[in-house]
Structure 1
Amino acid sequence: MPTVLYGIIAYILLQLLIGVYFSRRIVSENDYLLAGRSLGPGMASLSVFATWFGAETCIGAAGSVYESGLSGATIDPFGYTVCLVLMGMVFAVHLWRRNLTTLADLFEQRYSARIQSLAVWLIAPTSVMWAAAQIRAFGQVLSAVSGFEVEWAIAVAALVVVIYTMYGGLMADVVTDAVQGVALIIGLLLLLFFVLEAGGGFDASIARIQPERLSLFGGEDSAWIAKIEQWAIPICGSVLSQELVARVLASRSPEVARRACIHGGLLYLAVGLIPVFIGLLGFQLVPGLSEPEQILPHLAQKHLNTFLYIVFAGALISAILSTVDSALLAASALVSHNLIVPAVKTISDQGKVRVARILVMVCGIIAFVLALHAERVYKLVEEASAFGSAGIFIVVVFGLFTRFGGSMSAAVTLLAGMSTWIIGHHVIDISAPYLVSLAVALVSYVLMGLFEARRSEAGLDDQTLPEKSINYDFR
């Protein structure tokens, strides 16, 4: 299908050109990482939507729904919709007013530089894993339209997205998000129309879906603890991700930040239901597909003509590119701004930008290796949302809204949350490792906070900075 492949190449080159164009306007770290803190409500909302609407929604969610029915859509789009709206309603204004550059800055402001470094080592890997999921999905799309082996397609995908991300910074990311968001919506609507037509119309298509596949919570036999776990991972695990926090911090006012997350989340839900619906219909139209994550490309190849297929393929690539550049940029921002730049101390603005760009390349290489060895896109996304995020969530909530707890509380909580999840998920395989890690993190913070408060009352605590003072005020 060379014509389709040429169309996709042209689309990718357009994104690269946009990145190169905006790279000329980057003169400082603030420009590169936060687009000069200049985003208005429209661009910020579209960027939140497009950044979150990635491979896990188009490729992963459709494939999961194809396999498991509507219960496969718990994480995406429903869980992530709650995540985005929660950020807007609870966290956005408070984070914006802190004048941060990255989320890790909060850990230094509220706790200490050592806690900031520890937080970076927990947050940055999640962004790399998320980027790996997008790169793997990009490889799936290229493999489907070109006939290349998936491994070669993933390699090409990794090279393209690393180059694209290194140049543009956040402003290029936001501008391409707007273009990609429109292309995405058009492409998915086109595919939905033709899939419904192939199924005999809306009513006939709905009638063919088996009733048991329409249960969002997996049926009566599904344990309630597993249901809560499924919802907790995307909500608590991603609401404080660096990718989302960057959009908040790049907004030009706290109100813009709040509205962008809420409006972006609602748009995400509306558009996210399209691949979910197509996944339900695809099970009837193409039963027994060996690679469920290729259900969308497979249906598009079958039901769209060449021009419309190029539009659709561009839409898939839009979803992937708009997420992977954000993920690589997030990981780079955390490591460069919070680890390397403080260590170097004397470095120019242009030097900071160069360091950030080099780290984009390094993170891209790591993401490529992960993408090659991952079994499924959805598994990578789940791993990214859960790794270390339980402790991050608890520490940020206490640190942002209370003055209870200090550096010791934060350190113990971060380590306890991460280790509990790793052991529970990878070693002893408990049924709800993320919920257990959240509970352990919460208990750890409260107990250590009480211990620190006792030390402070006894005059044993030598931390005297007002921001790090410890008391029982939970307001």
Structure 2
Amino acid sequence: MNLVLFGVLAYVLLQFAVGMYVSRRIRTETDYLIAGRSLGYGLGIFTIFATWFGAETTIGAAGAIYTDGLGGGTADPFGYAACLLVMGVVFAVPLWRRGLTTLADLFGQRFSPGVERLAVLLMIPTSLLWAAAQIRAFGQVLSAASGMQVTIMITAAAVIVIAYTAFGGMLADAWTDLVQGIALMIGLAVLFWVVLADVGLEPLRQIPAERLRVFGGPDTPLLATIEAWAVPLCGSVLAAELVQRVIATRSPQVARNSSLAAAGMYLLFGMIPVTLGLMGPALLPGLEHPEQLLPRIAERYLPGVLYVVFAGALVSAILSTVDSALLVASGLLSHNLVLPLRPQMTEQQKVRLARWGVATFGALAYVMALYAEGVYALVEEASSFGSAGIFVALVIGLFSRWGGAPSAAASLVAGVVSWVLGAYVLGLAYPYLVSLAAALAAYACAALLEGVRGRALGASELAPTTAQSPPARTGASGSAGAL
């Protein structure tokens, strides 16, 4: 076993030990899923930052920018940093005040238990896709460190991640996110400093102008740009993984300020993989697997001990995200689907059920990771699948009383059906925008029909009362008109 692989495994075992130690404080389902709503600024900021700063930011975005320039990495870090900003400014406080345990609870509170269950069925695949992306990225890191096949390393990564997450729960996740966030920032900063000290600024000066276009070239259609930004913003601002971190904080002020601080950290440190991705063709031309760009740069420019630090940073980014995704998927299943059917369950049984859910979904995410084309593609799928209807229903439902359960259900179904048809059947150029429009139209039409039906029912209830009302009493003059 080489030094790097040994260091990475030692780091993972340390995280596992921290998770096991903290998990001893777990007594209830609330402790396991949202840390008893106890996170302060330190844990709140770092758990949001570390959860959001995943494989797509380090592995996926750097590889996409290596291939396509800034236009290939629109979502990361720019779109997802903006997503955290919007969460802090708009959504954090009202979500926290709802007293939620999972995001699906909001559908039950605002609409109906049936809509809540439908939303769960759409949100769980999203979490699985996100978890699969992280497991695949973990396998890429271990493969680069050990020289072994990616498939073998993805298998090893899945075993480690599933065991690590099942015992931890949200409280353990938050503490390990603190450690992982610090390691991530140190590792990326060290890599960037060493590369610049070695090659200087010349590779940056050599970057062609067309690779620096965030919004694509002059021939890029406006709708293509809007689509590229809508996926991370509308598709992820109400992601269950992010919401669960926000509602785990101890106050609405902590929820808002932690999201805003995490947005700034995300953009700052997310620019390091972006810059290295732009420099990549000059540093490592002709790379066969672009997603291995950062590990290959680190292997080339960092000495042994610093490379171990950087590998630990990549592992931090991955672990802090995959545990969130698996925990959310398990919570949606246990809390929103199983618990209503078995309300007599004890707190110990609820926690045990959630842990088994983590193991089950971890195995499914592993299978998806084996057959995925790449990390970045998986994350885009996760942000797009079913999220249009969820976004429309939650935004309208959170800030207004317009529309009820039929409107929300219509929006959810229209969003996912139109996206699947547009992306896989019709091959539309902008499937996510189409799904957003379809979800909004479905919600509006259903809400209007609800209003018409409500007025019709109201009129039918008033009609008998009017028909049976007694005649008006006459005044002293014997005539009603005299009054």
In structure 1, the partner of 2:93 is 93
CA contact under 8 A between 2:204 and 2:278: conserved in structure 1?
A: no
Counterpart CA distance in 2 for 1:18 and 1:194 is 30
Report the AA paired with residue 171 of structure 1. L
User: 1:300 and 1:206 mapped to 2: Cα distance?
Assistant: 18
On the 8 A contact 2:50/2:320 being kept in 1, the answer is yes
- Give 1:401's match in structure 2, choosing from 399, 402, 405: 399
Aligned to 1:415: 413
How many Å apart are 1:461 and its aligned residue? 12
| Cα separation, 2, equivalents of 1:272 and 1:407 | 39
- Partner of 2:470 in structure 1? none
Give the Å deviation of 1:460: 7.4
Which is worse superposed, 450-459 or 415-424? 450-459
Provide TM-score, normalisation by structure 2: 0.94
Q: Does 1:130 align with 2:130?
A: yes
Q: Which residue type is aligned with residue 10 of structure 1?
A: A
Match for residue 321 of structure 1 among 319, 327, 332: 319
State the 1:350 CA deviation.
Answer: 0.5
Partner of 1:284: 282
Take 2:380 and 2:198, find their aligned partners in 1: how far apart are those partners?
A: 33
Shift of 1:42: 2.1
The answer (yes or no) to whether the contact 1:331–1:360 under 8 Å persists in 2 is yes
Please tell me the residue identity of whatever aligns with 1:276: V
8 Å contact from structure 1 (residues 196, 205) kept in 2? no
**Counterpart of 1:7?**
7
Tell me the CA shift for residue 293 of structure 1: 0.3
- State the secondary structure of the residue aligned to 2:215: coil
The corresponding residue for 2:301 is: 303
> For 1:429-464, what per-residue CA distance to the aligned partner results, in whole angstroms no more than 9, with x for missing partners?
1010000100111111111101001111111799xx
The 1-side partners of 2:149 and 2:160 are apart by: 17
Match of 1:439 in 2: 437
Summarize the alignment of residues 290-369 of structure 1 with structure 2, pairs less than 5 Å apart: 290-369=288-367
- Whichever residue aligns with residue 182 of structure 1, its letter is I
Structure 2 counterpart SS, 1:343: coil
Cα distance in 1 for partners of 2:212, 2:452 equals: 53
Question: Does residue 223 of structure 1 match 2:221?
Answer: yes
Matched letter for residue 379 of structure 1 = A
| Number of equivalent positions | 460
Does the aligned pair in 2 maintain the 1:452–1:461 contact within 8 Å? Answer: no
Alignment gaps of 5+ in structure 1: 463-475
Equivalent in the alignment of 1:102? 102
Say if 2:187 is the partner of 1:187. yes
Question: How much has 1:344 moved relative to structure 2?
Answer: 1.3
Partner of 1:458: helix, strand, or coil?
helix
What amino acid maps onto 1:31 in structure 2?
A: D
TM-score, length basis structure 1: 0.95
Q: What corresponds to 1:20 in structure 2?
A: 20
Residue 178 (structure 2) pairs with residue 178 (structure 1): yes
- Output the amino acid matched with 1:109: Q
- Point out the structure with max Rg over C-alpha: 2
Deviations 1:251-279 (A, max 9, x none): 11111111111111111000000000011
Q: Matched residues in 2 for 1:297 and 1:461: separation?
A: 69
Inter-partner Cα distance in structure 2 for 1:221 and 1:6: 49
Cα deviation, residue 194, structure 1: 2.0
Higher mean C-alpha displacement, 245-254 vs 51-60: 245-254
- Please report the RMSD computed on the Cα atoms of aligned residues, expressed in angstroms: 1.2
1:62-108 per-residue CA deviation (whole Å, 9 max, x = no partner) reads: 00010011112200100001111101111111111111100100111
* CA distance in structure 2 between the aligned counterparts of 1:404 and 1:140, rounded to whole angstroms: 47
Residue 145 of structure 1 corresponds to: 145
Deviations 1:185-238 (A, max 9, x none): 111111112222332x13x23212122211111211111111100000000001
CA distance in 2: counterparts of 1:82 and 1:3, whole angstroms: 38
Q: Does the Cα contact within 8 Å between 2:79 and 2:229 map onto a contact in 1? A: yes
Q: Quote the residue 1:473 is aligned against.
A: none
Q: Distance in 1 between the 2:95 and 2:143 partners?
A: 41
1:460–1:157 CA distance, 2 compared to 1 (3 A): farther
Is the 1:455–1:461 contact (alpha carbons within 8 Å) kept by the matching residues of 2?
Answer: no
Q: Which runs of 4+ in 1 moved over 4 A?
A: none
Separation in structure 2 between the aligned mates of residue 31 and residue 294 of structure 1, nearest angstrom: 37
1:423 and 1:185, CA in 2 relative to 1: closer, same or farther beyond 3 A?
same
**Preserved CA contact (<8 Å) 1:50 1:177:** yes
**Structure-1 residue corresponding to 2:245:** 247
Equivalent residue in structure 1 for 2:258, among 257, 260, 277: 260
